[in-house]
Structure 1
Amino acid sequence: MEAESQSHVSEELQKVLLSTDLSLLRSPEAPNLINGSSQDISAVDVNDDILELDEHSFRKLVPLLRSSIENNSLNTVVEDLVNSVDDNFESLESQIMQDSQVNDNLTTSIQEMASIKNIIDGSLKDELMTLQDQLASSTNDVILKKQFFINNKKTTTKISESIILINKILQILELSNKCQELIKDGDFFKALQSLGSLEKIYLQDFRNYDFEFLKEIYSSIPLLKSKIKDESINLIKSSFNSKLEDTLLMVGNKYFDFYNEILLQEWMNSRNAMKLGNFKFNSPLEISLRDPKKLEELRLDHFYHLDEFYDSILIFQELKELNYLCEEFSKEYEFRKAKLVSPLELKSNVSSSLTKKTKSLDDLFGSGFNTEHLKKYMLRILGFLIYDKHLNRSTDYILSQNSYTTTDDFWTVLMNKLSPYLEDYISEHLNNEEELIGFKNFLGIYIAIVENLKLNIEVIYKAHVSIFQKYSALLVRLFDREFSTLLSDDDFMPLTINDKSLYEKVLKICWLKDDELQNDATMEEHAENEFYATLPFSPLYPMTCTLSKKTYNKLVAFLNNFYRHDLNHLNYLLVRTMEDIFSNIVNKKMKEKLDTTSREEIAQVLINFDYFVIAAREFSNILTKENITENPEVDIRLTSIQDLTDSRKYAETKLIELIDSKVSDLMEFVEFDWTSTELEQEPDISVRDIAQFLEMMFTSTLVNLPYSVKTLLIFREFDALTRKFLEVLLNSTPSVISRQSVLNFELNMEFLESVISKIFPNESETTIGNLDSPIPQSPEPENQRSSNLIENNIRSLQSTFTDLKQHIEFLKSQNMEEYKDSSVRMRKYPRIKPENAQLLYRKVAPRTDASSSEQERITPDNSFTDSMTSNRRIAKFFNRT
């Protein structure tokens, strides 16, 4: 760096000299400094005797020379100037050499400069020696002062170190004292932090010091840590005291009341206002409608304070002994759980399928255990579930050793143990509607809370479903009891009503046939007259309809709020309950009423069966439309429809058997005098009895039967009756009968046929609005359709006498030749068989020793018989026989 500075000064000096006007050099006038070298340089007049420079150049040279002198580099600068002459003045060499004056001046200048250099060197050496002496003196002073300073600094450092050491000792003492106070105050984590700071200070600063009292303090650290550990564990244990159980019960009650009194009521109001009848409480929709501000009431930090757990976790994390904390916590927690669920034993290996003797809650909790005790027990467990969830979540599952299912496992084990007792309690202790509904509502809220805790509700939900099963069974028993009373009180007579409002109410309650509803519309035309109406069914039917609807509405209302899961099974239970009502109660008990010989009662039971089939079918439609699975593809058809239909058919059969039996009994009294020679004017009394019985049966006793059933019975009875009389004519008559007896027999049959017109009423009698007589009880067609149907039925019934009439006509004519003529026979006697024709012809023919010609007239030849047989086959093929 110094060489570069000297070079820089030389270059600058050269530039100044090169820029100086050489004409200014005045050598002749300069004094001879070489010869006068002993003269003091201060006596030399530079301006007059050495070299005259312009003021500007001189000002430039002064700082450069001063700089070279200060840097002690004047010799170097002079040498650089000498060495640079050839380089800088080469161009002027020839000129200088030619100009003798310049040459002389230059030579003189160089000598003078060398002389100046020597003068300067001498002066500088003197000054330098003086400066060195001063510097040596100053250095000695500085060294002495520095020695004093160093000695003082060492002393100060030692004092400072002592102060720091004393402060740290005081800090240790303060930390030790503070730690004791914090432990005494129960602030164990801060106490542990103080111990950590104390230990760190001691190890860093006092490990090599032999301070006995500090060693004692340090040796007490493990004891203090152990005390902190023990006190932290004790603090956790003390939090599980008897007050916790009271807190658990309080939290369980708080949650239950909030759900029951606030959330449920708000949901019911919202559901009614928004018409959300198909949605249940605690469904996703209901949860989304809850007010978040109100849910703030359920913040768990309001009920459970877990500071001791947080501190303990931090303490044992600091001590790196979390496993020990978890083990101690687990032991205490399991003990508290066992105490909470007592007298149940969670770790017991006893099977949940216990014997009846040891399965009762009374055996567990003692006599006097009731529903309120059970609710209190379950609410305390609910409070613990909430507490356990909150504790594990708030401590990041550290205390459960990262087991995220600890609450679920506890709940699952508990419910597996409790469920048999719970099922038994439901079965044995909840015996009326109020108790079942109350406990159903309790479990419904309880399950909603547990479900929101993300716990498994499968087992407890089964108990909830069992309540519905018990409730359904109870309603079935109540229905059975009430129906039995109604059945025993029923008069088995058509329901007569003289109060229009009651009549309209009955129509709304009962399920009727479509044409009956139309008939009801015509009643409005006669509203001004005195009201009087008769319905086909007995009072049992509307009462049973009311009872069944009431039962169904109770079942639906029971399922209304809380049952959200396993809807297919619940729907099955609902349908099965209605099946029990219609099949095992209504059908079974009404069928028992058929064990009677009263035709009137059986007829009324048959009518009731006919309407109960309608009721069962309508209930099927209701169950399909309102099915709780909310599946539009579900099609429910009660099997009781078929059971009632079969019982209805059985009632028809029973009624037919009774009528047939009565007709058969009457037929036993029928006796005709086939040898009489007198014509009777009145039909036989036995025939009159049969006709009177049939007329009374179908116009009075069986008048309320369904039209199709009644018509079928009429056709069947008349068909059977005519076949019986034809059988009498063919097989029960003597070999010879008189012509008068045939006419008397015809008189009886015509009288019997005349009953047909009495059985079917005329059009005026079918008018529904006739208030002077009972309303027609069977659903008959009206107006022209009714008239045509009646005429067709009368003609059809009269056709049952066709066979009998043809046989009587044949007996009256006694013309075998007509019968032999196929064209006449097919027109007059198509229903008479050839063998029957021969038999009847013989009965009325005079019995003599007939000649062969007469015998031939009486007995047809084989060709005729073959012809008759062939014609029978053809007629039978075309259904004409």
Structure 2
Amino acid sequence: MTQRIGDHENPDLPMAGVNSSLIQYSLNSENYLDQLVPLMKTALKSGTLEDFINELDDTTRIREEELQSLSFKSADDILASVESISKVQDRSADIQQHLQSVSQRLSSTGLELSEKKKILVSYKKLHSKINETTYILNSCLEVLDRTNKIVDLIKQENYYNALKKLEDLSNVHLPEIENFEFTKRIFNSIPSLRNLIQESSFSSLSNWLKNDIEKNWPHIGRALFENMIELNDDWKRQKADDPSLKTYRINSSIERCLRSEVFKSFDPLRNRSVKIDLTPVYNAIIVFQTLEESEKLRDDYNKEWNLKRERLLSQIPMDDINANGYGKQSVQSAFKNSKALTIFLQQLAGFLIMDKVVNSSTEYQLRTRQSTLDMYDSLVTKLVPILLNHVRSLTTEETLIDAKESLGIFIQILEDYDYEVSSLYKVLVTVFRSFVSIKTKEFEREYGRLTNEDNLMPVHVDSERFYRNVVAVCYYPFKYNEVPKTLPFSTIYPTTCVELRKLIKNIYVFLDKYYSDINSEVLVIIESALDDTLVNVILKDLKTKVNSTIREELSQSLINMEFFMNSVHEIEAQLNYSDESFLANVRTSSASTTGALIKLKSHKAFQEIRKETEDNLFALVDTKVNDLMDFAEWDWDTKQLNTNPTDFVQDIGQFLQMMFASTFSNLPHNIKSLLLIRTFDLLADHFMTFLKESPFYTAEAIANFDRDVTYIESIINSLNDAEEPEIAQNEEATSSVSLQSMFMGLRQLINLLREGDLDGFKEDSIRMRKFNTIKPDEAILFMKKLDTFQETHLNSLPSSPQPDSGSGTNHVKGHGNGHGSISTLQSVTGSGRFKLNYRAFSKNKEIQS
């Protein structure tokens, strides 16, 4: 069949393989006949039955061979099993004999076990009694152990755990030992132990206050001071790096936001200097809370803390404090020196900050907020007079600076911990007031030295460098810069300006640190100090000098006074608007609090003294002019013409030139102008008086008089031309018209007399243009005294009777009848439009009037 399949390439070969597999499968099943039926049907249908049968035969043959092979192997196994069974039987016999031996031994030991069981029962009873005794002993030991642990915890100051152990002990219920004497004593001692824990915890707290706190107050305070000093330095560096921060000071909101972390995390209890543990405080609080005795703890702690406060204050004498808490202004200070003050303030800072820190750390369970504030207010009420008394006793700049440093740091520390410091700040203001007083006294002494060295001569500038130095220190807006030149003031002005600048800088540098609130009181101190310096030192000295009868000294002192007076406003401007750092820092603090500006009142005092000085100067010049005019004398009868001004007029002119060109050359422009006008007006009055008082003068005398007046007028012109603003600004030069107007009346009268008649005067247009200052009666009066007029007019007039005293008609004394006289006068005066006093022609007394 195999050959057929191979020869004919039977396509069913795969099917044959499948049938072989199926035949194998069917033969392996229990109902293999049922399994072969479908295969047989398939072979019949496909015509491969023969193949199927062959395959079935092959399979059967293979199975038989396999079965035969297995049969041979099974026979060997059976033989081996028989041998093993034989061995097992032998072993079983041995075991049976052994079991019989064991059974015999068990029966022999049964009686022994029964006896031992009886013994075991008796032992169990004994063990139970032993266990009971052991339990009782352990319970006793437990009570003793707990008691001992409580005592040990108390000794270890672990009061809370001791209290918890005590509570646990009190809750133990052991009926077996309750009747024992020692347990009764232990349980009866529980209240005593509870009290012992309470007292020991507070005693520990008291010892902590004494040993850890009170003894460490100096160290705590020193650490606080050092930390605040470093904080000031750090903030100063930050402001130097960022100018926008210059208006903000220590403890301001901005500063606290920008504060370095090392300062924010500073702990006054744990730092380089001290390390204080608050465990005793917490132990006492929790113990008293557990015992429901918190109020007692608060009362006892407050008493203890108040004792610490009194002990701290007892370091300084309290005799200077009266019943109202205000100190007497005794000379004796409570502190020997600045170091003693610093040490005390450090201790006080440690005390106050510890109070605040401990209370805040314990959530104010020991002391309430109000208790803290009340104690602080009471302490400050006692402290402020003591500090004020100490500050008033300080007499040197160094001690005041030390006091400012100590008080300033102390106040900043308290302010940093939210204490109210306004009362203490007043002490700092008092320090500033004392410092200002010392600096003003130093200025007064220095000014006394400078004024003694002053030569009352104008300052000569011969170099640009010297000029720039003068301009830099003087409180004056200089205009001209060319050198060499002579400045109007003497050396006292620039040197005093230097000292004023030093004074102002010292004052403001002193204020720049620790004075966080530049209030109105501080500004008043500055204003008063500067006003007092300007008025009671500088102006007082100038007032003494301007009372001099020496024109040069008076003039130079007046010049200096003018510059000092103008400097007042410049000083105000410097204080209020200068961008100098030491001024700007303080001013920004002032603007942020009060918004006030410095306003000096001394300018008015300078004005008043200047007015008095001007009057004295005017009186002095008037006296000198009057003295010179006492020697004046004109020859009104002369017939000789002079070629030069008269000698005494030349002397007057030279004196005036010297006085105004030299002595008064540097006077303030307005004073010099007024003095010019006043002096020459006085001369004009004197000249007019001489002319009026003379009963007669020749034409030659009038010509000579005209030459003298022209000479004086030329001096006026020369002095006016020399006038120019030297240093002052916004001032106008003296008007030539103003000066010439003083001689206008005299000049018109001389011109009228030089004409020799009244023909031009009676013409309205001429009179209004050339003689508008001369009245008609005055023209007739003066013209009548002229010899040439008398020859041409008055000699031709008829005589007239003396006027009747009761008649209202006036007559002219002369030749001819009355009608002729009236006619002549009318022709002179312009048809009688001006009324004349004819009696004036005959009475010299009335002429003089």
TM-score range normalised by the length of the shorter chain: 0.7 to 0.9
2:194 to 225, 229, 236: 225
Whole-angstrom CA distance in 2 between matches of 1:374 and 1:504: 46
Whole-angstrom CA distance in 1 between matches of 2:522 and 2:694: 70
1:266 aligns with 2:234: yes
Amino acid at match of 1:478: E
Distance 1:195 1:762, change over 3 A: closer
Counterpart position of 2:694 = 733
1:250 aligns with 2:219: yes
1:821 aligns with 2:794: no
2:716 to 743, 751, 756: 756
Amino acid at match of 1:558: F
| Secondary structure class of the residue paired with 1:496 | strand
| Secondary structure class of the residue paired with 1:241 | helix
Counterpart position of 1:307 = 279
Counterpart position of 2:310 = 338
Distance 1:715 1:251, change over 3 A: same
Distance 1:798 1:207, change over 3 A: farther
Instruction: Give yes or no for contact 1:705–1:778 (8 Å, CA) kept in 2.
Output: no
1:172 aligns with 2:143: yes
Distance 1:555 1:500, change over 3 A: same
Instruction: Give yes or no for contact 1:756–1:798 (8 Å, CA) kept in 2.
Output: yes
1:411 to 357, 376, 383: 376
Whole-angstrom CA distance in 2 between matches of 1:348 and 1:548: 39
Whole-angstrom CA distance in 1 between matches of 2:601 and 2:780: 56
Amino acid at match of 1:395: T
Counterpart position of 2:160 = 189
| Secondary structure class of the residue paired with 1:565 | coil
Q: Comparing both chains, which one has the higher relative contact order based on Cα–Cα distances under 8 Å and sequence gaps of 6 or more?
A: 1
Amino acid at match of 2:429: V
Q: How much has 1:251 moved relative to structure 2?
A: 0.8
Q: How much has 1:407 moved relative to structure 2?
A: 2.8
Counterpart position of 1:438 = 402
Quote the RMSD (CA, aligned, Å). Answer: 3.3
Percent identical among aligned pairs is 30
Q: How much has 1:777 moved relative to structure 2?
A: 4.5
Q: How does 1:123-162 map onto structure 2 within 5 Å? A: none
Whole-angstrom CA distance in 1 between matches of 2:371 and 2:641: 108
Whole-angstrom CA distance in 2 between matches of 1:446 and 1:778: 51
Whole-angstrom CA distance in 1 between matches of 2:614 and 2:444: 25
Distance 1:382 1:637, change over 3 A: closer
Whole-angstrom CA distance in 2 between matches of 1:398 and 1:793: 88
1:640 to 595, 598, 602: 602
1:783-803 CA-partner distances (Å, limit 9, x unpaired): xxx9xx87x844543343221
Amino acid at match of 1:315: V
Instruction: Give yes or no for contact 1:834–1:865 (8 Å, CA) kept in 2.
Output: no
Distance 1:511 1:318, change over 3 A: closer
Q: How much has 1:161 moved relative to structure 2?
A: 7.4
Q: How does 1:559-638 map onto structure 2 within 5 Å? A: 559-625=511-577, 626=584, 627-628=587-588, 629-630=590-591, 634=596, 636-638=598-600
Instruction: Give yes or no for contact 1:673–1:741 (8 Å, CA) kept in 2.
Output: yes
| Secondary structure class of the residue paired with 2:486 | strand
Q: How much has 1:250 moved relative to structure 2?
A: 0.6
Amino acid at match of 2:403: F
Counterpart position of 2:324 = 351
Counterpart position of 2:643 = 681
Instruction: Give yes or no for contact 2:221–2:350 (8 Å, CA) kept in 1.
Output: yes
1:837 to 774, 779, 799: 779
Amino acid at match of 2:323: V
Distance 1:356 1:581, change over 3 A: closer
Q: How does 1:488-499 map onto structure 2 within 5 Å? A: 488-499=452-463
1:707 aligns with 2:669: yes
Instruction: Give yes or no for contact 1:494–1:538 (8 Å, CA) kept in 2.
Output: yes
Counterpart position of 1:868 = 834
Q: How does 1:319-718 map onto structure 2 within 5 Å? A: 319-342=291-314, 343=316, 350-357=323-330, 360-362=332-334, 369-400=336-367, 403-429=368-394, 431-513=395-477, 516-517=478-479, 519-520=480-481, 523=482, 532-625=484-577, 626=584, 627-628=587-588, 629-630=590-591, 634=596, 636-718=598-680
Amino acid at match of 1:425: H
Distance 1:701 1:490, change over 3 A: same
Whole-angstrom CA distance in 1 between matches of 2:563 and 2:716: 28
Whole-angstrom CA distance in 2 between matches of 1:869 and 1:163: 158
Amino acid at match of 1:759: L
Counterpart position of 2:63 = none
Whole-angstrom CA distance in 2 between matches of 1:569 and 1:865: 79
Distance 1:316 1:826, change over 3 A: closer
Whole-angstrom CA distance in 2 between matches of 1:441 and 1:417: 21
Instruction: Give yes or no for contact 1:675–1:738 (8 Å, CA) kept in 2.
Output: yes
Distance 1:689 1:172, change over 3 A: same
Q: Which runs of 5+ in 1 are unaligned?
A: 1-151, 524-530, 767-775, 871-881
Q: How much has 1:579 moved relative to structure 2?
A: 2.3
Q: How much has 1:863 moved relative to structure 2?
A: 8.7
Q: How much has 1:393 moved relative to structure 2?
A: 1.9
Q: How much has 1:467 moved relative to structure 2?
A: 0.9
Instruction: Give yes or no for contact 2:523–2:598 (8 Å, CA) kept in 1.
Output: no
Amino acid at match of 2:506: K
Instruction: Give yes or no for contact 2:136–2:176 (8 Å, CA) kept in 1.
Output: no
Q: How much has 1:738 moved relative to structure 2?
A: 2.7
Amino acid at match of 2:248: F
**Equivalent residues, number:** 676
Distance 1:702 1:812, change over 3 A: same
Instruction: Give TM-score, length-normalised by structure 1.
Output: 0.71
Distance 1:779 1:214, change over 3 A: closer
Amino acid at match of 2:463: D
1:489-524 CA-partner distances (Å, limit 9, x unpaired): 2111110122331221111222334xx42x21xx3x
Whole-angstrom CA distance in 2 between matches of 1:840 and 1:207: 155
Amino acid at match of 1:374: L
| Secondary structure class of the residue paired with 2:546 | coil
| Secondary structure class of the residue paired with 2:174 | helix
1:237 to 206, 216, 235: 206
1:215 aligns with 2:204: no
Whole-angstrom CA distance in 2 between matches of 1:345 and 1:321: 36
Distance 1:198 1:636, change over 3 A: closer
Whole-angstrom CA distance in 2 between matches of 1:757 and 1:842: 32
Q: Which runs of 5+ in 2 are unaligned?
A: 1-122, 578-583, 800-814, 837-849
1:762-808 CA-partner distances (Å, limit 9, x unpaired): 69xx8xxxxxxxxx845599xxxx9xx87x84454334322112212
Distance 1:560 1:759, change over 3 A: same
Whole-angstrom CA distance in 1 between matches of 2:139 and 2:607: 104
Bigger mean CA deviation after superposition, 701-710 or 458-467: 701-710
Counterpart position of 1:289 = 258
Amino acid at match of 2:358: L
1:855 aligns with 2:837: no
Whole-angstrom CA distance in 1 between matches of 2:177 and 2:276: 49
Q: How much has 1:724 moved relative to structure 2?
A: 2.3
Whole-angstrom CA distance in 1 between matches of 2:782 and 2:319: 98
Amino acid at match of 1:754: S
